[in-house]
Amino acid sequence: MKSIGIIDLGSNSLKLLIAEQKHSKKINVLFEKKHQIRLSDYYIDDIPNLSAIGIYKLILSIQSFKEKCKLFECDKIIVVATETLRKCANKDVILNEIKKETGFEVRILSGYEESYLGYVSTVNTLDYSNYFLVDMGGASVEIALVKNNKFKHYASLPLGPIPLSSRFNLFNKISPFTKNEFKNYIYNEFNKYHWLKQGRNLPIVTIGGSIKNIAQIHICNHLGYTESSLHNFQMNYLDLSHINNKLCSLDYNERINIKGVSKKRADVICASSNFMKYFMLYTHSKKIIINTYGIREGIFYSCLEE
């Protein structure tokens, strides 16, 4: 195998990974690129449909990524999409336009596939046997229970930071009343999955840019340094709760001035920190563990097994 290009059409950004097998089952990353396009900003109607401008921006990014794959002479190029296209009423139009303009067939991942690929990336890059896996995208959250390294249960919830921020108006300062409404809402969702109680007290392995950003905020403000690699970095409940309380007490313009806060995530970061805080409380978890690898690496490792 020479190299594989994997294009991920996510809710908050579009990402490219070009990698090759180094030795054994180790991944050698050759190139990575991210286009920060929040596709849900281009929804029209309540259905929703992705607008013509949104489709145009999507295709431009895919074409740009295609050129990079050509430069690296990729043996295979895989294009996947998650919740943002999964829920679009005009997804067939979008897929046809992508095929016509780029030649790519896009595979829209199911919630199960998205969660399982996160699990594949985790078992290949971290050494834990029993844990919850929480993959927080922009529009959805995939939760899985892993026992003895086996993928036991999963749920795909439309509780990503973008829809949660809109639903509860979390863009500015957040009142105790709103936080309580938020808690009750997601607890009602959690109660639908009785298997969550089977994993009480287990650590939580997390995937996603929002969670990585929360870790960076903690490092910059409480440990006094920056961290280039967050893989396997750990935070306890008090760490997360302190950051969450601080972020929720500020409006957007104040948040962006906190060290470590990504300006591109400052509007939705409170939804992410609130979700993780209440998931830790619900599951009695003591710590979260950052997995910087996600579905793209999961796809890569799956290709090695074929």
Helical segments of 139-291, H only: 161-168, 176-190, 209-218, 237-248, 252-255, 269-283
Give me the chain's average pLDDT, please.
94
Helical segments of 103-208, H only: 111-125, 161-168, 176-190
Q: Residue 52 pLDDT > 90, yes or no?
A: yes
Placement of tokens 């392995």 in the chain: 205
Distance CA 255, CA 270 (A): 10
| pLDDT of 1 | 59
Rounded to an integer, the average pLDDT of 47-52 is: 93
Least confident of 46-50, 232-236, 285-289: 46-50
Tell the burial category of 269 from Cβ atoms under 10 Å away from its Cβ (0-12, 13-18, 19+).
buried
| Bond before 48 cis per omega within 30 degrees | yes
| pLDDT of 229 | 82
Are the beta carbons of 157 and 134 closer than 8 angstroms?
Answer: no
Are the beta carbons of 100 and 73 closer than 8 angstroms?
Answer: no
Distance from chain centroid for Cα 242: 22
Rounded to an integer, the average pLDDT of 121-142 is: 96
- Per residue in 62-77, pLDDT (tens digit) is 999 999 999 999 999 9
C-alpha radius of gyration, the chain, whole number: 19
Count H helices, E strands: the chain? 11, 13
Token pair in block for residue 52: 């013509």
| pLDDT of 112 | 95
Band of pLDDT at residue 296, cut at 50, 70 and 90: very high
Token pair in block for residue 159: 């509780």
| Coil/strand/helix, residue 135 | strand
- Per residue in 195-221, pLDDT (tens digit) is 999 999 999 999 999 999 999 999 998
Q: Which domains does the chain have, with CATH numbers?
A: 4-108 (3.30.420.40), 114-290 (3.30.420.150)
Q: Of 119, 154, 121, which is closest to residue 140 (Cα–Cα)?
A: 154
